[in-house]
Amino acid sequence: MTAAAPTRLILVRHGQTDANAGGRMQGQQDVPLNDTGRHQAAAVAARLAGFEPDGIVTSDLSRAAATADAIHAATGAPLTTDPQLREIHIGSWQGKTAAQVAAENPWYTEAIRTGADFRRSETGETSHEAATRVAEALRGIAASRPGVTAVVVGHGWALRGGLGLALGLGMEAFHVLGGLWNCSWSVVDITDRWRLISYNNVVPRAD
């Protein structure tokens, strides 16, 4: 008896923005790709065409949507949006650097160092809340596409946390896995369990 083909999710972080380059937090602020980000999106799109995805699901924030548009153009796979894939909401911290946030919140640096969870400003989410939201989205995408390959385009913080929960590793995996590079992709196969095949792959830069 032949085993059923796994469902494959290819998780892609969006390309670079000026805020990324300048070390500024974005959260759900709608910041577009810069020139570097557009080049990164075209490069990763060409690479992902080899996976022959059956569909693309993206965060509706423009930096993710533009990255997904490039993948759609390279693959022809149908494209849909899902606001659940948005980056962690950080409220009034949007547009600030880590140094600025730390100056206003003396506990911030130690909380980051120790891996504590906390609310990102008075109106933002905690890491666990954002990860739970994205993990739910990933599970839904996988359940609706049995046996096929789908590209999921999102954001570094939210994708990393959501992936850790979907894999059953908990929030501890958030710090073990490490940050996702702009336009990196990670591959997960799903059968009776979630299995991480590769993590944080990037197209080598042509110098």
* Residues with active-site annotation: 14, 87
Reading the block at residue 199, the tokens are 């993590």
Alpha carbons 9 and 199: distance in angstroms, whole number: 12
C-alpha 126 chain-centroid distance: 16
Alpha carbons 151 and 72: distance in angstroms, whole number: 10
Q: Which of 26, 22, 1, 3 is nearest to 14 (CA)?
A: 26
Strand, coil or helix: 201: strand
